[in-house]
Structure 1
Amino acid sequence: MKSKAYNLFIFFIAFPCIDIFGLSITLFLFFSHLIFTKYKFSNPFSSLIYSGIFISALISLFSSYFISEVDNPSITNTLLLFARLFYWLSVGLYFEKNFKVEYIYNTSKYFFYGLLFSICTYYFFQFEFELGPIKYSYIFRRNEFVFNFLCSFPFAYHFVTNQKTLRYFKFLFIILCFLAMSFTDGRSGFILFIFQILVIYLITNNFQKKKYI
């Protein structure tokens, strides 16, 4: 999984700020990753899955650009939703099949970068502008920021604790994240963040004990 497209794919999952034709840039980066790594479909099942990804992406591409979102969705909007769900399910199956332990460090690094960019833009310089079919935007609602934050933090923490220099700033990083969640003015996200830290502490502490037994 070592490709620039994959690294950018992870970065923009943590820092989702670019849409192309109404779709997240992560979709295009994922396909670029498959192409650059010359991924081979080893069996009919995987071929079916990635055919589904491609079809879902096409449906999402055209429908999201020409169909506006409404409060009372039509059948077309419902099909669009299913296409997007199937796409992400298929991406999840791809990672479940191909992801290896040795990829965690590199993956965590780009989650870390994306999380830092996400915090900085959310609190200091939110932006939005369009250039043709490309839209640059990071004006997120609180719940969207909190969701991305909670998904990215465990990976970012893993990178900080395993990087030779950053490991000495581990507690500073936790304090930064603690403050970032505190100032969202939300309770549920903050509680989940505290729960995340406790779970990570219990897992790592238990691992360290087994390591030295």
Structure 2
Amino acid sequence: MQSAATAPALATPVFLSLTLPTAASASARPRRAARATVRCELAAAAASSAAAAPAAPGSVAAPRWAQRTVVIPPQRRGCHIITHKIMHAIRSDLSEFKCGLAHLFLHHTSASLTLNENYDPDVQIDTETFLNRVVPEGPSAPWRHTIEGPDDMPAHIKSSMFGCALTIPITDGRLNMGTWQGIWLCEHRDDPTPRTIVITLNGI
């Protein structure tokens, strides 16, 4: 009898199949065509062509990494969609990935990153209104840390509320976000500065 310790390694491909959402909303947004189902595969032993040498049993595609640093110019206080700036910076690297993750990390404690509405700009305005109501600012606020002005401590709190990092799936050379999702940079200071974002791509 063959023991479990000597059993041959499995060479069956492992795959993740997922269907992207369609714009089947009752809102006034324009409808977008349905996207086809896409598949990320971790092939155990697949040749890229008939002439390619077969992979060793049980092997998987070697992971790849890429990293870019993006500097966003100063933005006024509020929420800003920066998807196109991010895509411009990573487009050439992103196309090399079949399946993976994109990690965005913001180098600041008075701004934040989040995923939200990419269609109606009122959502950005309303989000800024919410933040300003939830986190008080001015002479009556209870904050002790006011070295850089009355918006100093509120900016730190808002940064922690939304966070400084995002992780987005990569599928077939693109960021696999929802139809109405965009990458936001939220600027929480009245006197903004350039904001640095490190983007790390990992996958196959």
Q: Same fold (TM over 0.5)?
A: no
Compare CA radii of gyration and give the structure with the larger one: 2
Q: TM-score, normalised by structure 2?
A: 0.23
Determine which structure has the larger strand proportion and give its number.
2
Normalization by structure 1: what TM-score? 0.22
**Higher helix proportion:** 1
